[in-house]
């Protein structure tokens, strides 16, 4: 019986198609609730930034090739808000409660948070 090999191959690139900054985590939570159609959904957090992303499907041949051969993934939409201190949930005045997952142990999510901080002045303010 052959031994199973385990190998780590991180993405080399994330291509963000649309990026929107919200002023507060509450505004981001409201957006998440609407975007998810009222279904349970959560927000990611890393290094002072709360965010949510929507990946483009890899069902097309071109997208699958980019993912497998080039280690490139496409995010159709990335929304974020500054959130300096981690909180496990965001509660809005309308009673919306959105869980927040601390992803600060993920090198990928840390890179996204760092990128968002650098892009902040250039991204659209919601």
pTM: 0.83
Closest CA to 50 of 17, 88, 14: 88
Q: What is the DSSP letter of 106?
A: -
Per-domain boundaries in the chain: 13-125
pLDDT in tens, 24-77: 999 999 998 887 676 667 899 999 999 999 988 777 777 778 788 888 888 999
The CA distance from 62 to 72, in Å, is 11
pLDDT in tens, 76-99: 999 999 999 999 999 989 888 899
Contacts 24+ apart (CB under 8 A), 85-94: 85/48, 86/45, 87/25, 90/25, 90/26, 90/28, 90/29, 90/43, 90/50, 91/29, 92/26, 92/29, 92/30, 93/26, 94/30
The CA distance from 50 to 69, in Å, is 30
């Amino acid at each position: 019986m052959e031994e199973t090999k385990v190998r780590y191959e991180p993405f080399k690139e994330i291509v963000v198609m649309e990026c929107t900054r919200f002023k507060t985590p509450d505004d981001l939570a409201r957006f998440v609730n609407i975007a998810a159609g009222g279904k349970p959904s959560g927000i990611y957090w890393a290094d002072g930034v709360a965010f949510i992303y929507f990946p483009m499907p890899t069902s097309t041949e071109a997208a699958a090739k980019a993912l497998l051969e080039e280690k490139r993934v496409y995010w159709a939409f990335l929304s974020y808000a500054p959130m300096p201190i981690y909180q496990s949930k965001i509660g809005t005045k309308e009673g919306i409660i959105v869980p927040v997952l601390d992803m600060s142990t993920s090198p990928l999510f840390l890179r996204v948070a760092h990128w968002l901080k650098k892009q902040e002045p250039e991204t659209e303010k919601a």
